Amino acid sequence: MGSGRLYAAVAAGGFRRYATYRAATLAGVFTNTVFGVILAYTYIALWDERPHLGGYDQSDALTYVWLGQALLTTMCVMGTGFEEELIERIRTGDIAIDLYRPADLQLWWLAQDLGRALFQLLGRGLIPFAIGAWLFDLTLPASPLAWLAFLVAVTLGILVSYSFRFLVALAAFWLMDGAGITQMTWLAGVFCSGMVLPLNVFPGLLGEIVRALPWAALIQAPADVLLGRVDPLGTFAFQAGWAVALLGAGRLLQAVATRRVVVQGG
Amino acid sequence: MGVGVGGAVKTGVRGERWTGAEWDDGPLGRRERVRDGVRAYRMIAAMWIRSTMAYRASFAMTTIGNFVATGLDFLAIVLMFSRIDRLGGYSLPEIAFLYGLSAVAFGIADLVVGSMDRLGRRVRDGTLDTLLVRPAPVLAQVAADRFALRRLGRITQGLMVLGYALTALDDVHWTVLKVLLMPVMVVSGGAIFCAVFVGGAAFQFVARDASEVQNAFTYGGATLLQYPPGLFAQDLVRGVTFLFPLAFVNWLPALYVLGRPYPLDLPEWVAFLPPLVALGCCALAGLAWRAGLRSYRSTGS
């Protein structure tokens, strides 16, 4: 299986690429921890006022805070993953070189992004989460099965995140300048993924809408699986549904976009 | 380019050449150097404004984006208050007051010296060397680099929240002193955050690719100050009062305006300390910057 080995190598490259910057990783761990502490205290005040808000007790809410910090870069909620590089390659025309490589564009970047996500989960996720668990009273399941289900939900979340960012990057074929769309993605990601407030706390219709959007697959879904708040299979189906839909759209857009490429030569 | 600052030959604005020790209190006096810095800053900032204005639609979009992006955390607070009446004993207008002051103070610093966090990248890719040979203070050049007027979006958003807070606060007993304290708060708060940016940049001379540590103190600090101090552990409050005096940006003066008790049983007059604290912070940040610049050895690339 030659192409399988190729993508494994690309994924390993993605992992190593981020693992190189050790000081940056440590700095990120520090920042995630500081934000985790600040958010945790505001959530304590909020759940003091309204115990069982959104179906969470205070300990669930605190677990949610630290999961959010652990998954923030893993899920690229605020962007700055491969998409910026891909947009740049589209803008400069280097994309033409990528297209006649014997590798599929979507799979290539997917492999790279999986490597990146794995490193971010281990490098920038684990330590802040451990510090959070040490400082605050978190709800952590004892059953290994619950953790396994959590890892499945995280993997599906990464897929959704990737497939959405791939679509955003391809939009550069039409927009040329990626600044506007990456900013919109950033805004939607932060707000609709539940980074600022758990999605189950959002009131009324707004809550129903954000919980149905793909961003709910990034943080809310893995958190609810770990906290045992939802049926894991239903959540997996929700995440996988979005992943398939967005990956399919990406495939379609890739086909249309590559027909648009005009190599200017020179 | 393998020279550090100590060995570099500099040329003053008026064409004099000055080296080494003269750089500190050289032929141009301290006051003239500050004036040079401000002038260089103004020129570079104006250049970036002109370049941004070449693409007006893009400028408008990014400014609106900046406005919306910074508004999201206030939207989260409003969403919280759709479920509760008070947070840590504070009403929405009171929290909006803290939020607005923190956002405006931070927004001013972000506008003026927000580009400083790129210093680590400059050290790594060697572009700092170019700035060292130009006849203008390096601090002014780094601070004004990529001056982004779109950052007015954050200030505007903070001012709007502050405006809402001022109209909605109904049990504040306003005095002349309290009204006068408000602009002082915003300016001193901005200066304290500027010092954090400059100090953070100085740290990047040592820790080249650890620029994100700075975010913990800048963005993290601004977020912390949006909530009442009573929410946080006493040690944390102690830390940001005595060690890393962010509490003087808004907490201590704002609690005086709101007529709320101070954290840590501090006396009432601490509400009037922000200008002094800001001066102290800026002096320390300046020293840190100098030490950082002096320790700089080019990567040679």
Q: Kindly provide the ipTM of the predicted complex, given to two decimals.
A: 0.87
Residue with tokens 């007993």: B173
pLDDT given for residue A216 in this prediction: 95
pLDDT given for residue A172 in this prediction: 85
* Among the ranges given (A54-58, B49-53, B123-127), the one the predictor scored with the smallest mean pLDDT: B123-127
- Say if CB B160 and CB B220 are below 8 A apart: no
Nearest CA in chain B to A204: B82
Portion 24-43 of A in contact with B at CB < 8 A? 24, 26-28, 30-31, 34-35, 37-38, 41-42
Round to whole Å and give the CA distance between A146 and A137: 19
Give the nearest partner residue to B61 out of A30, A180, A197, using CB atoms: A180
Check whether B106 has a pLDDT greater than 60: yes
Give the nearest partner residue to A46 out of B68, B80, B210, using CB atoms: B80
Nearest CA in chain A to B220: A35
Check whether B219 has a pLDDT greater than 50: yes
Give the nearest partner residue to B72 out of A24, A177, A187, using CB atoms: A187
Please indicate if any CB of chain A lies within 8 Å of the CB of B87: yes
- Please choose, from the candidates A186, A236, A241, the residue with its C-alpha nearest in 3D space to the C-alpha of residue A213: A241
Instruction: Choose from A22, A46, A80 for mutation: most chain B CBs within 10 A.
Output: A46
- Four-CA torsion B228, B234, B237, B238, nearest 10 degrees: 150
Round to whole Å and give the CA distance between B72 and A150: 28
Q: What is the mean pLDDT of residues B56-62?
A: 83
A120 CA: distance to closest CA in chain B (Å): 15
- Say if CB A193 and CB A77 are below 8 A apart: yes
Taking contacts as CB-CB distances below 8 angstroms, the residues of chain A near B79 are 197, 201-203
Q: What is the mean pLDDT of residues B230-251?
A: 92
CA distances from B277 to B177, B191, B236, B282, B290 (A): 19, 9, 19, 9, 20
Please indicate if any CB of chain A lies within 8 Å of the CB of B220: yes
Answer yes or no: do A27 and B227 touch at CB < 8 A: no
Instruction: Choose from A18, A20, A31, A127 for mutation: most chain B CBs within 10 A.
Output: A31
Taking contacts as CB-CB distances below 8 angstroms, the residues of chain A near B235 are none
Portion 104-143 of A in contact with B at CB < 8 A? none
Phi/psi at A119 (nearest 5 deg)?
Answer: -65, -45
- B10 forms beta bridges with B18
Q: What is the mean pLDDT of residues B137-145?
A: 87
pLDDT given for residue B53 in this prediction: 86
Portion 176-215 of B in contact with A at CB < 8 A? 207-213, 215
Report pLDDT digits (tens) over A76-121. Answer: 888 778 888 888 888 888 888 888 788 888 999 999 999 999 999 9
pLDDT given for residue B20 in this prediction: 45
Check whether B299 has a pLDDT greater than 90: no
Instruction: Choose from A18, A25, A38, A200 for mutation: most chain B CBs within 10 A.
Output: A38
- Please choose, from the candidates B41, B247, B208, the residue with its C-alpha nearest in 3D space to the C-alpha of residue B117: B208
Check whether B21 has a pLDDT greater than 70: no
Please indicate if any CB of chain B lies within 8 Å of the CB of A256: no
pLDDT given for residue B160 in this prediction: 95
Instruction: Choose from B79, B98, B214, B219 for mutation: most chain A CBs within 10 A.
Output: B79
Give the nearest partner residue to B220 out of A38, A179, A201, using CB atoms: A38
Answer yes or no: do B208 and A177 touch at CB < 8 A: no
Please indicate if any CB of chain A lies within 8 Å of the CB of B146: no
Report pLDDT digits (tens) over B72-99. Answer: 889 999 999 998 999 989 999 999 999 9
Nearest CA in chain B to A206: B79
CA dihedral sign of residues A254, A259, A260, A266: positive
Residue type, A81: G
Is the overall model pTM greater than 0.90, yes or no?
no
Please indicate if any CB of chain B lies within 8 Å of the CB of A46: yes
* A&B contacts, CB < 8 Å: 96
pLDDT given for residue B67 in this prediction: 87
Taking contacts as CB-CB distances below 8 angstroms, the residues of chain A near B150 are none
Give the nearest partner residue to B72 out of A28, A50, A191, using CB atoms: A191
Report pLDDT digits (tens) over B167-209. Answer: 999 888 899 999 999 999 999 999 999 999 999 999 888 887 7
Give the nearest partner residue to B215 out of A23, A31, A50, using CB atoms: A31
Check whether B38 has a pLDDT greater than 80: yes
Check whether B4 has a pLDDT greater than 60: no
SS (H, E, C) chain A: CHHHHHHHHHHHHHHHHHHCCHHHHHHHHHHHHHHHHHHHHHHHHHHHHCCCHHHCCHHHHHHHHHHHHHHCCCCCCCCCCHHHHHHHHHHHCCHHHHHCCCCCHHHHHHHHHHHHHHHHHHHHHHHHHHHHHHHCCCCCCCCHHHHHHHHHHHHHHHHHHHHHHHHHHHCHHHHCCCHHHHHHHHHHHHHHCCCCCCHHHCCHHHHHHHHHCHHHHCCHHHHHHHCCCCCHHHHHHHHHHHHHHHHHHHHHHHHHHHHHCCCCCC
Taking contacts as CB-CB distances below 8 angstroms, the residues of chain B near A30 are 212-213, 216
- Please choose, from the candidates A5, A124, A141, the residue with its C-alpha nearest in 3D space to the C-alpha of residue A60: A141
Instruction: Choose from B66, B80, B87 for mutation: most chain A CBs within 10 A.
Output: B80
Tokens (6 digits) for A35: 């934000």
With a cut of 50, which residues of chain A have pLDDT below it? 266
Q: What stretches of chain B adopt beta strand conformation (E)? A: 9-11, 17-19
Please indicate if any CB of chain A lies within 8 Å of the CB of B54: no
Portion 163-222 of A in contact with B at CB < 8 A? 177, 179-180, 183-184, 186-187, 190-191, 196-197, 201-203
